[in-house]
Structure 1
Amino acid sequence: MKYRKSIVGGLVAIVVLILVFSSLTTVSSGNRGVLLQFGAVKPTILSEGLHFRIPFMQTVQQIEVRVQKEESSQSAASKDLQIVTTKVAVNYSVDPEAVNKLYQEIGLDYRSRIVDPAIAESLKAITAQYTAEELISKRPEVSAEVKDMLGKKLTKYYMKLEDINIKEFAFSEEFNKAIEAKQTAEQNALKAKRDLERVKIEAQQQVTQAQAEAQALKLKKLEVTPELIQLKQIEVQEKALEKWDGKLPSVTGGATPFIDVSGITKK
């Protein structure tokens, strides 16, 4: 009888321990727990840590509330009907205070059911408002508009958009060639403009130099007077006298006939 009581007591203790451990549940870090009672979503949301639940009646579904990253590549038509493939990275998170509603209305596959379609729709809608060249030159503006539209879509489904980064706009090969040809033409036009400006400057410099030389020549002509000519003649004669050795030339030339003056001096 005594042993029977011990066995029963031991079984009761084991059952109690099983019930105690079954009533404990842990919510991991970065998650929230959705409390389910016979499969029905309860309004209670379990935070990180240890919690009690009713064994065999209640279960806990954990949902991550940390920032998650989704990368996507979407093709769409621009305003000028160019096909643009946009690569984008989106950071988002689930609202910790609404995980029960998210689970009840959408389920655990919210990424494929909500996030991916919302990204594609936002990119296509905003891309259609810009030309292909504007998508490149106005990337910050495009990114801001996509972020605004996508944020509103995710908010309706209990998610928050943290950030968005447009990594690349890829265009067709024909469009890339057209852009390259346009850039080449612009560079050539700029070079021609610079060359023309250089030629104009050089021509102006030559005109200025010619004007300066003409002005200098004009001043020199104004300086030539009869007195200056007479002074120059005197200077030439003085230099000739300095070099004369005191002997008269034997022959003179010019307009008069040549005369031998040597014989005259001897007489």
Structure 2
Amino acid sequence: MQPLTRFLLKVAGGVLALIILANVLDKTVLSWTVINPGYTGIKINRLVDRGISKENVVTGFVFFNPIQSVVVVYPTFVQREVWTRSANEGGASNEELSFNTKDSVPVSIDVAVSYLLSADKVPAFYTRFRADDISNWTHGYLRDTARNIVVAIGSEYSFDDVNGVKKEEFLSRVAAELNRRTMPIGVSIQQFGLVGALRPPPELANAVNAKTKAIQDSIRTENEVRAATAEAKKKVAIAEGEAAANRALASSLDDRLLAWERLKLQRAYIDKWNGQMPSVVSGGDGGGMLLNLPAPAQK
């Protein structure tokens, strides 16, 4: 092989090696990422740091050596998760929470939880849980804690209470206790509530539905009775009023008033009389006339 040819091959090999080396260095020696608003990142030194300090918190453009460091990003805006039995909402597996009431009724519930991770607690949060993805913590530690609280507090209520007037009290207590346990690690619970209704065993659900229908029927019947009673009282009141009015009118028509009314009628007839006698009379004494007038004198 000619010396020139060997030289050119060496040059080509060197250029190729430089290209490969530059590509490797670009991917392994220096890298960068962007921490967007609403997120907090922490840079972890794999070779030196055993824990995370406030100095490791990063925002904006972050450059790091991927061999020595790694950047973990956490959202610091409100997160919402649901734990349900349905595979179409929340996780693909059954994540419902279950508990037994004070009267030994097994109950399952679907719940939604909202929480907020404090940015200044992110380093301590990572140091404790080593969670590179916040959703792993949510469906792990947070769900387990919530389930334990639901089991403990739910056992203090009867089914009728937790399914009725004390439902909101039950949920408020669970939310308050969950918040009390997560606040030290930098997580504040914003909301905890049911998704849908409680699910008791089918036989109990049927009994509850029957009881609800009976109560509704009873209320409807009571309303109908009240309406009928009110209508009857109204009719009685009207009749009593009319009777009282008639009695008052009758009591006011004494003999003197009746005589006065007769006199007024007679006066009205006299005023209308034209002085002529009727052409037909009954009897000779004028008994057939409306008024008993004396017969005219004979000439």
What's the TM-score, normalizing by structure 1?
Answer: 0.69
Supply the distance in 2 between the matched residues of 1:111 and 1:40 (Cα, whole angstroms): 24
Shift in alpha-carbon separation, 1:177–1:85, aligned structure 2, 3 A = farther
> Of 110, 120, 129, which residue of structure 1 is paired with 2:147?
120
Provide the identity percentage: 16
Supply the distance in 1 between the matched residues of 2:69 and 2:176 (Cα, whole angstroms): 37
Is contact 1:32-1:96 (8 Å) kept? no
Supply the distance in 2 between the matched residues of 1:80 and 1:177 (Cα, whole angstroms): 19
AA matched with 1:36: N
Shift in alpha-carbon separation, 1:68–1:157, aligned structure 2, 3 A = same
Is contact 2:32-2:61 (8 Å) kept? yes
1:1-267 to structure 2, matched below 5 A, reads 18=25, 22-29=29-36, 30-38=39-47, 40-43=50-53, 44-53=55-64, 56=67, 58-66=68-76, 67-72=78-83, 73-78=96-101, 82-108=105-131, 109-131=136-158, 132=160, 135-137=163-165, 140-171=168-199, 172-224=205-257, 244-246=277-279, 249=282
Is contact 1:84-1:169 (8 Å) kept? no
Shift in alpha-carbon separation, 1:105–1:244, aligned structure 2, 3 A = same
AA matched with 1:199: A
The alpha carbon displacement at 1:178 in A equals 1.0
The alpha carbon displacement at 1:190 in A equals 2.6
Shift in alpha-carbon separation, 1:250–1:214, aligned structure 2, 3 A = closer
- Structure 2 unaligned residues grouped into runs of 5+: 1-6, 84-95, 200-204, 288-299
AA matched with 1:207: E
The structure with the largest strand share of the pair is 1
Shift in alpha-carbon separation, 1:22–1:203, aligned structure 2, 3 A = same
The alpha carbon displacement at 1:45 in A equals 2.9
Supply the distance in 1 between the matched residues of 2:163 and 2:253 (Cα, whole angstroms): 68
Shift in alpha-carbon separation, 1:68–1:242, aligned structure 2, 3 A = same
Is contact 1:89-1:166 (8 Å) kept? yes
Give the number of equivalent residue pairs. 249
The alpha carbon displacement at 1:213 in A equals 0.7
Is contact 1:118-1:154 (8 Å) kept? no
Shift in alpha-carbon separation, 1:23–1:238, aligned structure 2, 3 A = closer
The alpha carbon displacement at 1:216 in A equals 0.7
The alpha carbon displacement at 1:173 in A equals 2.5
Shift in alpha-carbon separation, 1:32–1:242, aligned structure 2, 3 A = farther
User: SS state of the match for residue 197, structure 2?
Assistant: strand
Supply the distance in 2 between the matched residues of 1:104 and 1:79 (Cα, whole angstroms): 39
What's the TM-score, normalizing by structure 2?
Answer: 0.63
Over the aligned positions, Cα root-mean-square deviation in angstroms equals: 4.2
User: For residue 264 of structure 1, what is the aligned residue in structure 2?
Assistant: none
User: For residue 4 of structure 2, what is the aligned residue in structure 1?
Assistant: none
Shift in alpha-carbon separation, 1:168–1:227, aligned structure 2, 3 A = closer
